[in-house]
Amino acid sequence: MILKVCGITNQEDADAAVEGGANAIGFNFYPRSSRYVEPERAASIATAAGVRRVGVFVNEPRERVEKLARQAALDVAQLHGVESDKDYPSGMAVWKSVNVTPDLDLSAFHGGAAEALLFDGPAGHLYGGAGKSFDWSKARGLAVRVILAGGLDATNVARAVELAHPWGVDACSRIESAPGKKDLRKMKEFLQAARAALLA
């Protein structure tokens, strides 16, 4: 079960996420993102034992992903570009992101070498999602571990879990007070609701 908070840029938010029950936190290494964090900054943000450190990358060369993974002590590479299995970094898990549009057939996707597929809402020209949800029922019953992302917060995560039966959930923009700064109350409420739904 994955409870992930993405877009972490500071120690206070990381601490609050872990205290609230997150077992994965995400650092965004896409320079055009409003939640971009310098690799050195991400490396300085400490996490508790057992919390998976996830790096978000967009069309980065495998070698650079591996370098940043070492630098920031990452456990997972979350890939949002056009990567295939041959582009995956070695020595770490990969979550391959798929932006779900209304006409996309999710049954055509298989995990391949990825540990999980992260299904995100439609993002247009934006990588890493745009805080928009999708028809969660489309992600149900797939022969792969599924992580749901895109527009999730405490008000809708239980419904998303009910419809999709995912391995995990991931929230970012709807639990923020500003890009890269979490609203601690919203984050805590999301994590509580998500945990209850995934364990139900």
Residue 130 pLDDT class (50, 70, 90 cuts): low
Indicate the average pLDDT of the chain.
92
- Give the strand pairing for 2-5 and 168-171: parallel
Domains along the chain?
Answer: 2-199 (3.20.20.70)
pLDDT digits (tens, 9 = 90+) for 24-36: 999 999 999 999 9
Known catalytic membership, residue 105: no
- Report the C-alpha gap between 30 and 59 in whole angstroms: 9
| pLDDT(124) > 60 | no
pLDDT digits (tens, 9 = 90+) for 38-78: 999 999 999 999 999 999 999 999 999 999 999 999 999 99
Residue 166 pLDDT class (50, 70, 90 cuts): very high
| pLDDT(103) > 90 | no
- From 120, 153, 170, 172, active-site residue: 120
**Model pTM above 0.75:** yes
Known catalytic membership, residue 6: yes
> pLDDT above 70 covers what percent of the chain?
96
pLDDT of residue 121: 83
